[in-house]
Chains A and B, each alone.
Chain A
Amino acid sequence: DAKTTQPNSMESNEEEPVHLPCNHSTISGTDYIHWYRQLPSQGPEYVIHGLTSNVNNRMASLAIAEDRKSSTLILHRATLRDAAVYYCILGDNNAGNMLTFGGGTRLMVKP
């Protein structure tokens, strides 16, 4: 199964942009890149996903490297409510189209 590597934790200041990195060097051509986040004591929440091109939505932007071996989730202006664990996951054909949630990056936002 294609895997992702994320830092265990990151810190950010409130109202500043946050760039959350993800490496996926074994990604295949048909694997989608998904980001979910999990706020404390809640279920995971969809953030964004993409295949090749950069993607934007109301929550965040997803920047995908040209070789697709890495991607970055961008929160344009962090708020205290963005403190969560962020999961970068590959939608892998070889995994029966199932997403495998790893450890994720714990984002802490300082006021």
Chain B
Amino acid sequence: NAGVTQTPKFRILKIGQSMTLQCTQDMNHNYMYWYRQDPGMGLKLIYYSVGAGITDKGEVPNGYNVSRSTTEDFPLRLELAAPSQTSVYFCASSFQDQRTGELFFGEGSRLTVL
């Protein structure tokens, strides 16, 4: 099993550009999440999904969009990139909700906006 796979691993964007971070999992998990982690800080939840066709906002959703058309994929879209979105982005999935279950994380996507 590959687990949670994120692409790309690194990306540099110019201010105002758009891009999509891809996330796919092969564990048939219903729950999927996107976090960002700024240097020296903990993780903040951007968006999450409890199943195909269902998404909801987390703590810091502004400037991002998500979709969940399949169980496996949960892409994160950045529109009009800003320097404040420079961060490391982690995708995660779980079989149960976070309160009782175990989260599986991808290796991260490091994004720099110049």
Q: Chain A residues in contact with chain B, CB under 8 A?
A: 31-32, 36, 41-46, 49, 87, 91-93, 97-104
Which label, helix, strand, loop or mixed, suits the secondary structure of the A interface? loop
* B: interface residue count bin: 20 to 34
State whether the Cβ of B61 lies closer than 8 Å to any Cβ in chain A.
no
Q: Chain B residues in contact with chain A, CB under 8 A?
A: 4, 35, 41-45, 48, 58-59, 90, 92, 97-100, 102-108
- CB distance B105 to A98 under 8 Å? no
- CB distance B107 to A103 under 8 Å? no
Q: How far is the CA of A31 from the CA of B98 in the complex (A)?
A: 11
Q: How far is the CA of A54 from the CA of B35 in the complex (A)?
A: 29
Max chain B C-beta neighbours (<10 A), residue from A45, A98, A104: A98
Q: Known contacts A87-B42, A101-B42, A103-B42: does B90 contact A49 (CB below 8 Å)?
A: no
Question: Which chain A residues lie closer than 8 Å to B98 at the CB level?
Answer: 91, 97-99
Q: How far is the CA of A43 from the CA of B43 in the complex (A)?
A: 10
Q: How many whole Å from A103's CB to the nearest CB in chain B? A: 6
- CB distance A49 to B105 under 8 Å? no
Question: Which chain A residues lie closer than 8 Å to B41 at the CB level?
Answer: 103
